[in-house]
A and B are shown apart, each in its own frame.
Chain A
C-alpha cells in the first residue's frame, strides 16, 4: 500500500520540483480527510500542486477562481425554472466535485467564503430547503495570497480552524528552478493516475483505524495545554486542533510506512496544523512560536 504512496509522491515530484516535504504534507492532509490551505505569493505553484494532487489520486477536479464579485450561487449552483416541466430544477455548481481548488479564497466576499466553508464542514449544500450531498471524498484545497496583498478579505479565525493544515510552498532552490527553466518538469496532463478510488478509500480507513499509544497522546495533551497557559496565546489550541494533530500524525506515519505514531510525527506536522489556529498574522513570528512550543514542551520518555 505504501509503495503506492511512494509512487504518488514521486509522481507529484515530477511536477513540483524540489518540494517533497510540502507534497507529503498535502498528501497527509488529504489522507487524514482534511481540507488544505496553501498560502503563498502568486506564481509559486499552488495551483499546480492542487491540480496535480487531484490528478494523481484520480479524483474529479474543479478549479474555482474566487473573485470579489463571486456569489454563493456561482459555486453551489442554483434552481432554475424549467418552462417545459413547470418546475424548479437544481443545477449543480462547480462545488460538486471531489477536489475543489478554491483559488485565492481570500479575494471573495465573506458570504461566498462562508458558503464554501459550510460545504466543507457539512459535506452537503442546502438550497431552497433541499439538501444535496457532495461527492465523497470531498476535498477543498484553498489557496490564499498573503494578507498584506491588496484586495483581500481575510478568513475569520473560526473558519481558518476548518482547515486541517496550512502550508506554504516557498521559493524553489536554484537547482529546482534550473530544472523548471530547462522545462524538465512534466505537464500535469501527462501525469499518471496512480491510485484508484477504492484504494484511496481503503488507505483512509486504514489510517483512521490506526491506534495511538499513550506517550504520544500525552505529548499532544502537553502541547495543547502549553498553548492554553494564561498569557501565552490569544487563541489557544482547541480540542478540534488536538484531533487534527492526531489525525494528521496518523496519516504522516502512514506515508512513512509505519502503522504507529511517534512524537517525531507530531513534530513533523505540528507547524502545518497549528500555525493558522494560533491566529497570529506574521508568518515568521508564527514559526518562531511553534519552534518555542517544540522546545519547551518536553517529549515523554
Chain B
C-alpha cells in the first residue's frame, strides 16, 4: 500500500464530512463521502482517476444536488457545502504535488469551518488533530523516495505543540477585535423549542440529549422546581399557540430589586432561535440582551454561537401589578365555536368556583382525579376539537397537551391565561452547575390571578409529580418511555456507573472549556489584564499588545536560532575551533591561507599554528596531544584535563 499525502488528505475530508453530517444536507454528505472514497482508492492506485468528462459530469451533478438540496437562502451552509464539495472533487483529480499543496491550503479553511457549527472541547480537539494530520500530509509531500508516516507525524505534532504556547499568549493578551462583518449563523435542525405549540398531532415526542444551556448559581440554587422560561405563546388558533409579534414595546420591563433577586450565570449553546432562558421574571444587564416586559430575555438575532450572560430573577407574581386591557383581550381570546365540551367543563367549574384562585385549584383537582396519564407517546389527535378529544377521550399526553388544554379552559372561564414554553429542571452536575438538555423542554400554563399576578399552572405536577423534581432523565416513572424515545446517546448508557462517571467528567471538562475559553471575552480579558497589569490605560494596553507581538516574534527567532545553533557533538571540537579562530585572527595572509586550506586535518593545523607561534608552541603541542588522545585513541577527557585545556586556551589566546 502506498500511503501518501493524497490518501491522508482524503481521510481528513472524510472525517470532516462525518463531523458535519449532522448539520449539512445528508444527500450532499453522502455524495461527498462517495467522491472522497473514490479519491482515496485512486490515491492508493486501486482505481483509476476519472477522466475530464466524468469529472465535469460529477461537478455538474454535485452542483445540482447542492442548489436543490441546500438552496440559496442558507448562505453559510451553502458555502461550507460548496467548499467541501469542491475540495473533494479537486482531490479526486489532483495528480501533482502543486495540486496537493493547494488542497492543503484549502483544507485549513475546511477545518476552520467546523467551528461555525460547534466550538466545544471535543470539536476543538478534533480540529487540532486534523490540523496535525494536515501538517503530516504536507511533510510527506516533501519526501520523494521513502515516505515516513511516523516521522512526518512526529514532526507535525512537534510543530503544533510548539505553537500552543504562542497561541495561548495571543489568546490571553491580544484584544479581541469586534468582527468586521457579521456572519449569519448556520441554521441547524433544532429538536428543542418551537415557536408554535401544537402538541396534538405528535404521536411520539422525539427527544434529543443535546445540551441547551448550563446554569451556575451565584448562591444556592432554588429549592422549588426550576421553570426556565424561554417563550410566551399568547395567541391561540386552531394551529396551536403562537407568539405575539408586537408585544415587546408595549410595556416597560421592570428591574428586579437587587436584594431579593436570584442571581445566576447562563452559558447558552447556539440555537436557531433568538430566545434566552431565565427563571421566573428574568432580567439581564449583559449587553446585547433585550429585557422584555414579561420577564423574557431575548437577543435581536438567533444564537449563532455559544454566549454567556448574567441574569437575575424575581418572583413572577410581583412583576406586573395589573393587567392592561390589551393584555387582557389577548389572553382571553379563544375560538368560541371549537372544543365545546371543554368550554362546557370550564363553565361548570366556573359556576362552582368562588374565586379565580378556587377555579385554579378545582381544575388542578380535575386533572388529578379524572384518570389523566402522563406519557411521552400519546395517540395523535387530529382535526378540529383536539382539546376536547384530549380532555374527554384519550386523557393521555405530555406537557404540551396539558398546557394547551389548561390555558384553553382558563380562557373559556374568563380567566387570562397563556402557554409558556421553556425547560423544566436540569441535571445537577458534580461541578456545582446545572445542565439543561433538549429533552428537558417543557410547556406549562401561566394564569393571571387577581392580587397574585401571573401564576404557574402545571398539570404535570399532579399527573406526574416526579417530573418536577429534576431533569426528565432523573424521573423514575418516565424512565423507560424516555429512554425509548431518546436518540442514541451517552445518556442511554447512564445506568452503567463507569460510563456515567465518564459522561459527567467529560461534561465538566467541557464546562470548563466553555467558561474559560469560549467565555473569555473582552470584559473577562479586561479584568484579567487588570488583575495582572494593574490599572489599564491605552498606554499599558498598547505596551501589552506590542510586547506580546514582540514576544511571539522573539520566540520564533529564538526557536530558529536554537534550531540552527552550532552543535558540538564531539568533545574538544569547540575548543579546537576557538584555537583555530584565534590562530586565523593572528596570522599573516600567507599563514591564514595555509590555515584555511580545505581538508587540512586538525593535527596538521595545530602543528602549523605551533610553528607560526613559536612562543606558544609548547602549549599548542600539549593541546594537540590531549586532542589526539581524546579523539583518536578513544580516551575519555578527565576533569583535570578539561581544566588544563581551559587554561591552555587562555594562555594561548592571551596577547
Which A residues are within 8 Å of any B CB, using their own CB? Answer: 211, 213-216, 259-264, 267, 294-301
User: How many Å from the CB of A212 to the closest CB on chain B?
Assistant: 8
Residues of A within 8 Å of B628, CB to CB, are 260, 262
Q: How far is the CA of A298 from the CA of B605 in the complex (A)?
A: 13
User: How many Å from the CB of A147 to the closest CB on chain B?
Assistant: 29
Query: Are A264 and B601 CB-contacts (below 8 A) given A213-B631, A213-B633, A215-B570?
Result: yes
A301-B599 in contact (CB<8A): no
Question: Which residue from B597, B599, B631, B634 sits with its C-beta under 8 Å from A297?
Answer: B599
Residues of B within 8 Å of A215, CB to CB, are 570, 631-632
Of chain B, the residue at the smallest CB distance from A216 is B632
State whether the Cβ of B602 lies closer than 8 Å to any Cβ in chain A: yes
Q: How far is the CA of A290 from the CA of B603 in the complex (A)?
A: 20
B601-A267 in contact (CB<8A): yes
Tell me the total A-B contact number using a CB cutoff of 8 A: 46
Q: How many chain-B residues does the 8 Å CB contact rule pick out?
A: 17
User: How many Å from the CB of A16 to the closest CB on chain B?
Assistant: 27
A264-B599 in contact (CB<8A): no
A299-B601 in contact (CB<8A): yes
State whether the Cβ of B577 lies closer than 8 Å to any Cβ in chain A: yes
Residues of B within 8 Å of A260, CB to CB, are 628, 632-633
Query: Are A211 and B634 CB-contacts (below 8 A) given A262-B628, A301-B573?
Result: yes
Q: Which applies to chain A's interface (DSSP): helix, strand, loop or mixed? A: loop
Residues of B within 8 Å of A259, CB to CB, are 633
Residues of A within 8 Å of B631, CB to CB, are 213, 215
Residues of A within 8 Å of B598, CB to CB, are 295-296, 298
A213-B632 in contact (CB<8A): yes
Q: How far is the CA of A267 from the CA of B604 in the complex (A)?
A: 11
Residues of A within 8 Å of B633, CB to CB, are 213, 259-260
Question: Which residue from B576, B577, B600, B603 sits with its C-beta under 8 Å from A262?
Answer: B603
Q: How far is the CA of A301 from the CA of B631 in the complex (A)?
A: 8
Of chain B, the residue at the smallest CB distance from A294 is B599
Question: Which residue from B577, B599, B634 sits with its C-beta under 8 Å from A299?
Answer: B599
Residues of B within 8 Å of A295, CB to CB, are 597-599
Of chain A, the residue at the smallest CB distance from B634 is A213
Q: Knowing that A294-B599, A299-B602, A301-B602 touch, tell me 18 more A-B residue pairs with CB under 8 angstroms.
A: A213-B632, A213-B633, A215-B632, A216-B632, A262-B601, A262-B632, A263-B601, A264-B601, A264-B604, A295-B597, A296-B599, A298-B598, A299-B600, A299-B601, A300-B570, A301-B570, A301-B576, A301-B577
Residues of B within 8 Å of A301, CB to CB, are 570, 573, 576-577, 602
Residues of B within 8 Å of A216, CB to CB, are 632
Residues of B within 8 Å of A213, CB to CB, are 631-634
Residues of B within 8 Å of A263, CB to CB, are 601-603
B603-A264 in contact (CB<8A): yes
Most buried by A among B573, B597, B600, B631: B631
Q: How far is the CA of A49 from the CA of B51 in the complex (A)?
A: 76
Residues of A within 8 Å of B573, CB to CB, are 301
Of chain B, the residue at the smallest CB distance from A293 is B599
User: How many Å from the CB of A181 to the closest CB on chain B?
Assistant: 36
Of chain A, the residue at the smallest CB distance from B607 is A264
Q: How far is the CA of A295 from the CA of B599 in the complex (A)?
A: 4
Contact with A along B585-619 (1 / 0, CB 8 A): 00000000000011111111000000000000000
Q: How far is the CA of A260 from the CA of B474 in the complex (A)?
A: 83
Q: How far is the CA of A297 from the CA of B601 in the complex (A)?
A: 11
Q: How far is the CA of A297 from the CA of B599 in the complex (A)?
A: 6
Q: How far is the CA of A211 from the CA of B635 in the complex (A)?
A: 12
Q: How far is the CA of A287 from the CA of B577 in the complex (A)?
A: 30
Of chain A, the residue at the smallest CB distance from B602 is A301
User: How many Å from the CB of B582 to the closest CB on chain A?
Assistant: 15
Residues of A within 8 Å of B604, CB to CB, are 264
Residues of A within 8 Å of B603, CB to CB, are 262-264
User: How many Å from the CB of B386 to the closest CB on chain A?
Assistant: 87
Q: How far is the CA of A267 from the CA of B632 in the complex (A)?
A: 15
Q: How far is the CA of A259 from the CA of B604 in the complex (A)?
A: 18
Q: How far is the CA of A272 from the CA of B631 in the complex (A)?
A: 25
User: How many Å from the CB of B653 to the closest CB on chain A?
Assistant: 18
Q: How far is the CA of A301 from the CA of B569 in the complex (A)?
A: 10
Residues of A within 8 Å of B600, CB to CB, are 299
Q: What are 23 A-B pairs with beta-carbon distances under 8 A?
A: A213-B631, A213-B632, A213-B633, A214-B634, A215-B570, A215-B631, A260-B633, A261-B632, A262-B628, A262-B632, A263-B601, A263-B602, A264-B603, A264-B604, A295-B597, A295-B598, A296-B599, A297-B599, A298-B598, A298-B599, A299-B602, A301-B570, A301-B573
User: How many Å from the CB of B164 to the closest CB on chain A?
Assistant: 37
